[in-house]
């Protein structure tokens, strides 16, 4: 079992590698269990929780921090986005809703069976 502090010290790429490794192990454990070869059943719980810890740490990091922790690479300067003149969109005119006519059924609805006289409430 790995502690969360150890996961927080690792880079984004290392965490992704660990996540892939643990998911493969979880897959293999399922097959071992299905074939009756699994000896250490507690390993399921450990692997599942380590996967959850890694995913939690990855989710807590801001989106920009993932690139910053992996390797500081200078990104090319962003070009200013051109703002296109937007035309106001026309909304389709709503037609008045007509109420659908109810169809009359030929047969009357079935009645509920009568309650027994001695039935308890």
Residue 34: CATH number of its domain: 1.10.287.310
Tell me the per-residue pLDDT of 49-73, one tens digit each, with 9 for 90 and over.
999 999 999 999 887 665 555 554 4
Distance CA 42, CA 50 (A): 13
pLDDT at residue number 4: 87
Q: How many domains does the chain have?
A: 1
88 inside domain = no
12 inside domain = yes
9 inside domain = yes
Lowest mean pLDDT among 9-18, 20-29, 71-80, 90-99: 71-80
pLDDT at residue number 114: 74
Distance CA 57, CA 8 (A): 6
CA quadruple 7, 8, 14, 15: dihedral sign:
positive
Domain extent, residue 14, equals 4-61
Tell me the per-residue pLDDT of 15-44, one tens digit each, with 9 for 90 and over.
999 999 999 999 999 999 999 999 999 999
**Residues in the chain, total:** 121
40 inside domain = yes
22 inside domain = yes
Residue pair 12/58 in contact (Cβ under 8 Å)? The answer is: yes
> For 95-121, what is the mean pLDDT?
67
pTM (2 d.p.): 0.51
Q: What distance separates the 2 farthest-apart alpha carbons in the chain?
A: 86
């Amino acid at each position: 079992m790995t502690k969360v502090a150890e996961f927080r010290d690792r880079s984004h790429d290392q965490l992704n590698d660990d996540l892939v490794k643990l998911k493969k192990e979880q897959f293999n454990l399922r097959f071992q269990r299905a074939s009756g070869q699994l000896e250490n059943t507690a390993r399921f719980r450990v692997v599942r929780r380590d996967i959850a810890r890694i995913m939690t740490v990855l989710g807590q990091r801001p989106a920009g921090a993932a690139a910053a922790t992996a390797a500081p690479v200078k990104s090319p300067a962003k070009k200013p986005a051109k703002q296109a003149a937007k035309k106001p969109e026309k909304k389709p005119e709503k037609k008045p809703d007509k109420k659908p006519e109810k169809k009359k059924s030929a047969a009357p609805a079935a009645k509920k069976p009568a309650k027994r006289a001695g039935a308890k409430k």
